[in-house]
């Protein structure tokens, strides 16, 4: 039987000082890492070149059984991503993230994008996860163009009270580019 002493207190949000210490120790890995993405209390991650538009359809999707690929139009671009108004997209980060057992991350849109009307459901980066992040974004009611490499997400890292025992080993481990839903 596994025995652990339970720590008390709240998770600790990492400052830029803490994040730099984690990065220099190799406990937290962000590739490629540029100084501009290290912020006061988190990292700004940049928009990658791939994107998938969730298409409208009258077909019924059977969750867990149907191939979801036919519900998306996926593309890759080098300079700009052009987004339709009031649409759902899957986007990914340039950066590949590798999380240690004692950290987790809260992912949000940078406030500039939220102020423009972009929406994103809450997204968590689990302890032990590694890969590029894929996020779902709802666009504002007007067409937009975003240059690839633009800082568009903000990740706040929290140090949990005790390191996770069950590290993330799920179906999205090691993902690169946009990753569609998997059963």
Q: Which residues are catalytic?
A: 136
**φ, ψ at 126 (rounded to 5°):** -80, 155
Residue 175 vs residues 114, 130, 133: alpha-carbon distances, Å: 26, 8, 8
> CB of 156 within 8 A of CB of 124?
no
Helix, strand, coil percent values for the chain (each to nearest 5): 10, 40, 50
Of the candidates 23, 46, 2, 183, the one whose C-alpha atom is nearest the C-alpha of residue 103 is: 23
**φ, ψ at 59 (rounded to 5°):** -75, 145
């Amino acid at each position: 039987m596994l025995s652990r002493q339970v720590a008390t207190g709240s998770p600790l949000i990492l400052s830029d000082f803490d994040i730099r210490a984690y990065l220099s120790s190799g406990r937290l890995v962000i590739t490629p890492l540029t100084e501009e993405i290290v912020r006061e209390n988190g990292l700004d991650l940049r928009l990658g070149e791939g994107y998938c538009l969730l298409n409208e359809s009258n077909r019924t999707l059977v969750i867990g059984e149907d191939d979801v690929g036919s519900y998306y139009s996926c593309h890759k671009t080098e300079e700009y991503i052009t987004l339709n108004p009031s649409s759902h997209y899957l986007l990914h980060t340039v950066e590949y993230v590798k999380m240690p057992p004692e950290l987790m991350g809260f992912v949000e849109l940078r406030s500039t994008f939220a102020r423009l009307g972009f929406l994103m459901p809450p997204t968590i980066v689990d302890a032990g996860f590694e890969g590029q992040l894929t996020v779902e974004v709802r666009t504002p009611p007007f067409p937009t163009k975003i240059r690839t490499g633009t800082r568009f997400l903000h990740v706040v890292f929290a140090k949990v009270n005790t390191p996770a025992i069950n590290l993330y080993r799920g179906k999205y481990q090691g993902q690169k580019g946009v990753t569609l839903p998997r059963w």
